[in-house]
Structure 1
Amino acid sequence: MWWHGSRLLSEGANSGRVQPAIRIFGRVARGPLLSVMRLWRRNIQLRVVASTLLLSMAVVLVLGVVVVGQVRNGLLEAKRQTAQSQADGGFAVAEDLAADADENADASAGQSLDTSTWLNSIVEQLASGGQGVYYVVALSSELSRPPFGSDASPAPPRGTRSIGDIQAAESISPELREAVDRHSATHRQYGTVVRQNGETEAALVIGKRLPDNEGNQYQLYYLFPFTQEEKSLSLVTGTLATAGLFLVALLGAIAWLVVRQVVTPVRMAARIAERLAAGRLQERMKISGEDDIARLGESFNKMARNLQTQIQQLEELSRMQRRFVSDVSHELRTPLTTVRMAADLIHEARSDFEPATARSAELLLSQLDRFESLLADLLEISRFDAGAAHLEAEPTDLRDVVHRVVEGAEPLAERRGGRLLVRGDGSPVVAEVDPRRIERVLRNLVVNAIEHGEGRDVVVRLAAGRDGQAVAIAVRDYGIGLKPGEAERVFNRFWRADPARARTTGGTGLGLSIAVEDARLHGGLLEAWGEPGGGAQFRLTLPCTVGATPRRSPLPLEPDDSRARRAVRAGAVSAARAVSAGPGGPGAPGVAGEER
């Protein structure tokens, strides 16, 4: 068995060498293949021209096959009719000569030609008009040939007469000779003419059994080669192939020119659209003519002009709004400072006032605090709108930021009856961020979670990506949650899920909008998830380095406890369905007792 094991080892070694070669070939061929596929997807002109060429080739091929078939059938039918007429005339001449030979023999009292000489003269006379168009063969009806169906080659018959360089015995099949011997009618068969030099040629063979000058039976055959028909068919085929190739090339060129006339303006419009999208609003298409493409260009230019006007108007309006907000915010600071000083004095002396006046002084001070917060948020929003916000990033351990935010919000959580919990693996979560802005984002998320958590615990999770590209902070509450579609609108300015719900923590309605802008300024992403009655979770994903783009967040947007609860709920529903489908059906007494 040692040789079997060595063969297996050699086959394994060969397969081990073949597999890397296949992989290398796959990698080498993959690049050009992908380039071709990309070009095919992006170039409509190439697709149209290629499709036109393929369809044209298919049509030309089908038409060529049909035409060649029709021509071939026509040539064969014409050949058959001509050959049959020629053969019938020759058979009639041979019968007349045999009858004349009998009469001459009777008149000359037995002085008749020898049969062999007579057959030679008959064959020469009948073949004299052929001149290569057909051949005449005369065979004795007493041929010594192998039985019908035998594979043995027939022996040259005795009394064979033929004109030309053909092999009579090989050119006429034994089946045809046997048929002619059995029946005196005319027989026709498609066969092959075998020449003396071994060359073969398709032919139509027509034979008949006739009497000779002495009354003995012999076989007379006409062999009509398809030389001229094959030449004609080859000429027709070549002409059709040449015309078809020329037609396909012409159709491809026409398709290329036509598609180019259509695609060129489209490509120009695409380039102009890209430039318009890049901010170059003065770009326009060049128009020539008055056709549909020209009207398309005019419509495109009109659309570009309208867009430019609208964008300029919007930019001007936005600029005026930003300036108005900035001016108003700055102008309000001076009177606000004066009102603040007066409110502080009134608040300090509230003990000397009546209870209603003292309460009014407290409300005045709290609303001034909220007004100052709103003014600060408006100024911050105006900076983001004007593109004047700057990032002062530095390597920061986000655990310290989270702990500062949690310590500041713990009193509020205790008043609402809940706790603030921080979850993490204890390892540093370091990223290049602006600590002030990130602390503001987290403070806003934590305060919102406490406000909407309905007195339940709020969980803050930190995680760093294993690839060192991103970090994430998630704030989870178990309050009223978010309805479907509210996770996208929650970051809109002054948006509320329930307009009738009052703000209990003094929010301004701009906190989440500012938080989203802070996250974008870092190159990160702030997302929200929630379900009705199941709470909500906000996830802040930040790149570890400034300018990078995180591919994925280290924390899931949907909390693990929500997925687990949904899985348990689905399992319970499946179990209930299985029980209701059990013996007795939904109304069985045993099942009803268990439910109670």
Structure 2
Amino acid sequence: MRWGLRFRLLLAFVSVTLLAVAVTAWSSARSASAALVEATERQLTGVVAERIGAVAPQLSYPPDQESLDRLRSAVGPETVVTYGQLSSVGGDRTGLVTGALRDAVRTRGRLVAQRIVAAGRPWLLVGTPVVVTAPDGGRSPSGIEVYSVFPLAEVERQVDGLGRVAVGTAAPAVPLAVLLAVLAANSVLRPVRRLRDTARRLAAGDLDARSTPRGADELTELTVTLNRMAGSLQASMEELRRMQADARRFTADVSHELRTPLSTLTAVVEVLASAADGMAPDARESAELAITEVHRLVRLVEDLMEVSRFDAGTARPRVEEVDVADAVRECLRARGWSDRVELVAAQGVRVPVDRRRLDVVVANLVGNALRHGAPPVRVTVSAAARQVRVEVTDGGPGLPDAVLPHVFDRFYKHDAARTRTPGSGLGLAIARENARLHGGDITAANAAGGGARFTLRLPRDPEDG
């Protein structure tokens, strides 16, 4: 489960706030509880000391049983008073007096308090020796020890009440923390959303998109950086478009300007070709080379002009209903490839295309297979509900993995040694442009049994393209 930035900010803010409130409330309640217990302990020990002080001067020393009973009654109901073998016990809780408390009273010779928990309830034990004051002010132990037991249940209830008060005090902080978290998250996420929207517009191609910087924090610096990046990208893209437009215009202009001299040159080489048989061998070889290169130059210029039309967006197909099998068969027959290429196609597979452009595509794919592949070369025409496929395969070694991504690039020849081959390096690029002009496409791959496989896909309905 992926949590958004807003949720994480809210969760972090609320968690920190609640933790701070909880720690503060717990600390306050604990301090107040400790202070309450200590105050109660001081009060009770003070009461014991005060009551003993009021009765002790009236006792006889050494004390008898009556004196011990009198002292016990004065101190409180849950009290035990001892003197040697004599003792006076009152109440049922005096058995809670611990040996540790008795030892501490006898060792220290002063009042000692001890808190214990018995039967699930808190108790305060107070023990003290009775000291006799002589007429001259001297103080000496009388041998009498007093131990009292006081319940702390009421104090415990007060402590619990303090805890509930702390929780009740902290509870209103929760909605307040959520409200503050929402406000803080909105203030942080608002510029983030603006940056996101700007980035989306840039990704969609709107290079004029910008965000307005607000404030002087890190998000403002990020906004300024994004705006600078967008400006730099826009300038680069404009320069790239200008250079592309210049290159296309240059190609179109050069191709157009070459047509007239090439027409003249073509007429000359035709005359030269008709007279080549009567030339000396060396002269005939030079003439044939010149004829070949002129024809190659003419094809290159024609290809460049076709590419220029695609780039300028002026290429328009003249669509008609065409039987694909007949069109492929005619393409092979016109180029003398019928006996070199196997055609597997059913009749009646019709598709709306520009017949001339379909001929160019098939000729490029088959010619590429014959030049760079190996027999058998096969053309398969098949039809589906929404498209027609023309697949050209050969029995050659196939296309290297490094070549596959570039086979449709303009002027690309994967074998650098073939710089003098008849092809211009534009044939497959023009074939794909023609396919896309009809709403289709061409893909290149290697067949399962070896050899290259080029697949032309054309939609049966132009609106599906």
With normalisation by structure 1, the TM-score equals 0.58
Q: 2:49 and 2:217 mapped to 1: Cα distance?
A: 76
Say if 2:378 is the partner of 1:459: yes
Alignment partner, residue 15 of structure 2: 58
Alignment partner, residue 24 of structure 1: none
Instruction: Give 1:258-269 correspondences, 5 Å limit.
Output: 258-260=188-190, 262-263=191-192, 266-267=195-196, 269=198
**Any idea what the Cα deviations from partners look like across 1:151-195, whole Å, max 9, x if unmatched?**
xxxxxxxxx98xxxxxxxxxx9xxx67656999969855579xxx
Say if 2:242 is the partner of 1:323: no
Alpha carbons 1:180, 1:187 under 8 Å: kept: no
**Any idea what the Cα deviations from partners look like across 1:303-352, whole Å, max 9, x if unmatched?**
55555554444444433433333333333333333333343334334444
Instruction: Give 1:440-589 correspondences, 5 Å limit.
Output: 440-454=360-374, 456-465=375-384, 468-501=385-418, 506-530=422-446, 534-548=450-464
CA gap of 1:220–1:427, structure 2 versus 1, over 3 A, is farther
Instruction: Give 1:143-158 correspondences, 5 Å limit.
Output: none
Alignment partner, residue 204 of structure 1: 122
Say if 2:310 is the partner of 1:384: yes
Instruction: Give 1:262-281 correspondences, 5 Å limit.
Output: 262-263=191-192, 266-267=195-196, 269-270=198-199, 273=202, 277-278=205-206
Alpha carbons 1:487, 1:528 under 8 Å: kept: yes
Query: C-alpha displacement at 1:521, in angstroms?
Result: 1.8
- Tell me the SS of whatever aligns to 1:484: coil
Alpha carbons 1:523, 1:548 under 8 Å: kept: yes
Query: C-alpha displacement at 1:442, in angstroms?
Result: 1.7
Q: 2:169 and 2:212 mapped to 1: Cα distance?
A: 46
Q: 1:181 and 1:316 mapped to 2: Cα distance?
A: 100
- Tell me the SS of whatever aligns to 2:464: coil
CA gap of 1:231–1:191, structure 2 versus 1, over 3 A, is farther
Alpha carbons 1:265, 1:293 under 8 Å: kept: no
Alignment partner, residue 85 of structure 2: none
Q: 1:338 and 1:328 mapped to 2: Cα distance?
A: 16
- Tell me the SS of whatever aligns to 1:482: coil
Alignment partner, residue 141 of structure 2: none
**Any idea what the Cα deviations from partners look like across 1:113-164, whole Å, max 9, x if unmatched?**
xx9xx99x959x95xxxxxxxxx7799xxxxxxxxxxxxxxxxxxxx98xxx
Alignment partner, residue 404 of structure 1: 330
Alignment partner, residue 353 of structure 2: 433
Query: C-alpha displacement at 1:83, in angstroms?
Result: 4.1
Q: 2:175 and 2:241 mapped to 1: Cα distance?
A: 60
Query: C-alpha displacement at 1:444, in angstroms?
Result: 0.7
CA gap of 1:250–1:310, structure 2 versus 1, over 3 A, is closer
**Any idea what the Cα deviations from partners look like across 1:225-282, whole Å, max 9, x if unmatched?**
034333333333333333465345335423432443x42652464366257x24xx55
CA gap of 1:479–1:70, structure 2 versus 1, over 3 A, is same
Structure 1 unpaired stretches of 5+: 1-32, 42-46, 127-135, 140-159, 162-171, 193-201, 210-218, 550-596
Q: 1:529 and 1:290 mapped to 2: Cα distance?
A: 55
Alpha carbons 1:474, 1:537 under 8 Å: kept: yes
Q: 1:469 and 1:329 mapped to 2: Cα distance?
A: 38
Alpha carbons 1:187, 1:207 under 8 Å: kept: yes
Query: C-alpha displacement at 1:438, in angstroms?
Result: 2.4
Say if 2:183 is the partner of 1:253: yes
Q: 1:490 and 1:378 mapped to 2: Cα distance?
A: 18
Instruction: Give 1:351-366 correspondences, 5 Å limit.
Output: 351-366=277-292
Q: 1:50 and 1:263 mapped to 2: Cα distance?
A: 14
Match for 1:273: what amino acid? L
Alignment partner, residue 233 of structure 1: 163
- Tell me the SS of whatever aligns to 1:500: helix
Q: 2:196 and 2:264 mapped to 1: Cα distance?
A: 63
- Tell me the SS of whatever aligns to 2:358: helix
How large is the Cα RMSD of the aligned pairs? 4.7
CA gap of 1:428–1:229, structure 2 versus 1, over 3 A, is farther
Identify which of structures 1 and 2 has the higher relative contact order when contacts are C-alpha pairs closer than 8 Å and 6+ apart.
2
Instruction: Give 1:47-446 correspondences, 5 Å limit.
Output: 47=5, 49-88=6-45, 122=73, 179=96, 189-190=116-117, 204-206=122-124, 221-224=149-152, 225-226=154-155, 227-243=157-173, 245-247=175-177, 249-260=179-190, 262-263=191-192, 266-267=195-196, 269-270=198-199, 273=202, 277-278=205-206, 286=212, 304=230, 306-408=232-334, 411-412=336-337, 419-423=340-344, 426=346, 429-446=349-366
Alpha carbons 2:325, 2:347 under 8 Å: kept: no
- Tell me the SS of whatever aligns to 1:390: coil
Q: 1:450 and 1:254 mapped to 2: Cα distance?
A: 70
Would you say how many aligned residue pairs link Structure 1 and Structure 2? 425
With normalisation by structure 2, the TM-score equals 0.71
- Tell me the SS of whatever aligns to 1:528: strand
